[in-house]
Amino acid sequence: MVRDTIDILRKKFNPVGFQRSLAHITLKAQEDYVHEEMIVDVLYQFASKHPPVELELDGLRIHYDKDTPTWNIHVSFTKNCLLRYLTPQLSHLMEALVDLQSPNALQSTRWEQSDDYYPHISVLTGKNEISPDGILKNMQNISLELPKRITCGAIILKQWAGTKWKTVKRFDLSGSAN
C-alpha cells in the first residue's frame, strides 16, 4: 500500500507527524464550523456523486509557501490531477458551513480555491531557516518504490483529538448519485 511506503519516510524524518496521523491526501483542511452536523451530509452527497479517482504520482517535491516562511516536502501528483478540480468543488460546498467569526476563518478555503492549490501527500513541513534540499536528497536516497498510479476510493472525515487525528466517518466514493 502506498501509504505504508510513504509512512516509512514520515516515521524516519517526521516522527511527530507520523504519530499524529497516517499518510493521507487532505481534501479540506479543518476550520471552525457553525453547522458541524451538516458536514456529514455534505460529504455523503459529494462522495455519492463521484466515483473512485485514479491519481498519477509525480515523485517527491518541495513546495515553498509564498505567504508564510515555510516549505513542504511531499509526494506530488501530475499537473492534470483530477483532485485539482474536485477539491475546490468540495471547498465551495463546505464554505457555507464555516464560522466566519473564528480566527483565520476561510484561510484554508481560500487556498483550496486558489490557483496555488496543489494536491499532495505531506511527508515533512518546516520553516525556511532550515533548507529542505538536503533532507529531500536524503529521502530520495532511501530505496522505496512508489507506484505510478493509485486509486482514491474514500473520503475520511477526521477530527483533532488532543494529540492525534481521530476518524469520525468514512465516505466511499461511489458515483451512484450521478
Residue 112 has pLDDT above 80, yes or no: yes
Per residue in 63-101, pLDDT tens?
Answer: 998 888 999 999 999 988 899 899 999 999 999 888 888
Please give the Cα distance from 56 to 92 (Å, whole number): 25
Which residues have CB under 8 Å from 128's CB, separation 6+? Answer: 64, 69, 70, 71
Say whether pLDDT at 53 is over 80: yes
- Is the confidence at residue 104, as pLDDT, over 90? no
Q: With CA atoms as reference, report the closest residue to 122 among 9, 41, 45, 44.
A: 9
Is the per-residue pLDDT at 30 higher than 80? no
- The three three-digit cell numbers of residue 72, written as one number: 513542504
- pLDDT band at residue 61, thresholds of 50, 70 and 90? very high
Predicted local confidence at residue 31, as pLDDT: 74
Chain-centroid distance of CA 146 in Å reads 18
Terminal-residue alpha carbon distance, the chain: 29
Task: Indicate whether 161 pLDDT > 90.
Answer: no
Q: Which residues of 27-57 are buried (b: 16+ CB within 10 A; e: fewer)?
A: bbeebeeeeeeebeebbeebbeebeebebeb
pLDDT digit string (tens) for 137-148? 999 999 888 899
Q: Rounded mean pLDDT of the chain?
A: 89
pLDDT of residue 177: 62
Q: Which domains does the chain have, with CATH numbers?
A: 2-172 (3.90.1140.10)
Nearest Cα neighbor of 123 from 26, 29, 13 is: 13
> What is the per-residue pLDDT for 143?
84
- Global pTM value: 0.84
pLDDT for position 109: 87
